[in-house]
Amino acid sequence: MFRNPEVHEASPSRLERLREKLSGGRSRKAALEAKPEPRIVALIPAHNEADVIATCLDSFFAQSMMPDLIVVIADNCTDNTAEIARSYGSPVVVMETVDNKARKVGALSQGWIRYGQDAEFILGVDADSRLEPLCAEQLFTELSANASAGGIMARYTFDQSTASGFIQSYLLRQQRMEFTGWTLDLLRRDGETYVLGGQATLFRGDAMRQVAKENRREAPWSTQTQVEDMELTWRLSDLDWETLCSPDSRAYIGPMYSVKALWAQRRKWDAGIIHLLRLNGFKKHTAEPWKLQAKMLLDATIRILFVVLLTLALQRGSWVWYWIWAIPPLFGMVLNYRVAMKMPDRTTKDVISAVLLVPGEIYLWFSIAIWLISWFDVIFGIRRDGWSAQYRAEGKGSIE
């Protein structure tokens, strides 16, 4: 979903304009005083998340501004996710899904129907996310002050310290680089985003209800896509709601620790995005995703041609080095360095990995392979259950 965007550093002036846009010219104190008793309901869909749900809920209890209700939606769990969540007590409540075959969307929909459809604000958080202490307050301040915004998501990153071993460390570092570059690109565009990620986003209740009503759904999310957060974002944009990324709030989200899990997640994302783009065509809010598809095509074409031409040249003994060929790698090193220096919690290893190029290039080839296979599946009408594949890859079982 967040696929190797062109990276542009968000300047301080851009961040200040975004903060002004989100605050409506008002201070945090003024925004909070305007609505002293907000009705905020947090929805946390959870399928076999016993290993991470406590960390997620602990971060809620450390918030400077607690939601009025925190709903853990235990979806077809075969572990003790529900029991762990219940041990926290108020304001945490646990509901278990009933006959849900629609994966995460079904869980969110059942939770919204039971607890969230009358809420003033809905805070959607994944069970493997950890919110920084000011996250909820910052999201609320920004969203309540901007009447035209339908949703605002936190800035996402990963906790490198959770990785163990070479493979996990490598994959996690590349995901951090990827998300940092993506976030910088959003902030460069004054925070406008084509996807309000479900990892940590605050939605306006009125906007969610309007989406459900206009699209004749029981809940705002669509069961016809595997990228429900992006589809919801586009429906909000169709109704002229702004969809934004916060310049300040931060959430640490769940990474993929194995090649198998990352492959399954990105297959689900890429195929879902391609299906959505084919259904929605070219609109203002689909322009950026189409641009990223074109960039992936260019990345793939350049690299495949390079391998083919280099192989032919070596076979014929006609290969000659020209120093001008060093310009693109040097340019890439500079761009990667800029991203690494903006990475939260960066270390010397992060910077070295970025400027070496090879780690990032391997990751890009991996991403290109997934992208090509996903396009192949969509073109030839091959449908697969991405959620089930990801659950299995992460060792969380499946939902039949």
Return the HEC string of the chain: CCCCCCCCCCCHHHHHHHHHHHHCCCCHHHHHHHCCCCCEEEEEEECCCCCCHHHHHHHHHCCCCCCCEEEEEECCCCCCHHHHHHCCCCCEEEEECCCCCCHHHHHHHHHHHHHHCCCCEEEEECCCCEECCCHHHHHHHHHHHCCCEEEEEEEEECCHHHCCHHHHHHHHHHHHHHHHHHHHHHHHCCCECCCCCCCEEEEEHHHHHHHHHHCCCCCCCCCCCCCHHHHHHHHHHHCCCEEEEEEEEEEECCCCCCHHHHHHHHHHHHHHHHHHHHHHCCCHHHHHHHHHHHHHHHHHHHHHHHHHHHHHHHHHCCCCCCHHHHHHHHHHHHHHHHHHHHCCCCCHHHHHHHHHCHHHHHHHHHHHHHHHHHHHHHHCCCCCCHHHHHHHHCCCCCCC
Contacts by 208-213 with C-beta closer than 8 Å and gap 24+?
Answer: 208/112, 208/116, 208/117, 208/122, 208/150, 209/117, 210/239, 211/235, 211/236, 211/239, 212/117
38 close to 120: Cβ distance less than 8 angstroms: yes
Residue 271 token pair: 């195929």
- Domain assignment present for residue 359? The answer is no
Number of separate domains in the chain: 1
In a domain, 378, yes or no: no
- Residue 315 located in a structural domain: no
Query: Domain span at residue 105?
Result: 12-168+181-255
List Cα–Cα distances, 127 to 39, 53, 266, in angstroms.
21, 5, 19
pLDDT of res. 358: 96
Residue 84 lies in a domain: yes
**pTM exceeds cut of 0.85:** yes
- Say what the pLDDT of residue 280 is: 94
pLDDT of residue 132: 98
In a domain, 115, yes or no: yes
Residue 290, in any domain of the structure? no
Q: Determine phi and psi for 56, rounding to 5 degrees.
A: -60, -50
Within a domain: 261? no
Q: What is the pLDDT of residue 14?
A: 55
> CB under 8 Å to 90, separation ≥6 — which residues?
none
What pLDDT shows up at residue 13? Answer: 57
Give phi and psi for 150, each to the nearest 5: -90, -20
Q: Can you give the pLDDT of all 400 residues of the chain as single tens digits?
A: 434 434 444 455 555 655 555 555 544 444 444 444 459 999 999 999 999 999 999 999 999 999 999 999 999 999 999 999 999 999 999 999 999 999 999 999 999 999 999 999 999 999 999 999 999 999 999 999 999 999 999 999 999 999 999 999 999 999 999 999 999 999 999 999 999 999 999 999 999 999 999 999 999 999 999 999 999 999 999 999 999 999 999 999 999 999 999 999 999 999 999 999 999 999 999 999 999 999 999 999 999 999 999 999 999 988 888 899 899 999 999 999 999 999 999 999 999 999 999 999 999 999 999 999 999 999 999 988 988 899 999 988 766 5
Is residue 293 a part of any domain in this protein?
Answer: no
Q: Give dist(CA 332, CA 334) in Å, integer.
A: 5
CATH number at residue 22: 3.90.550.10
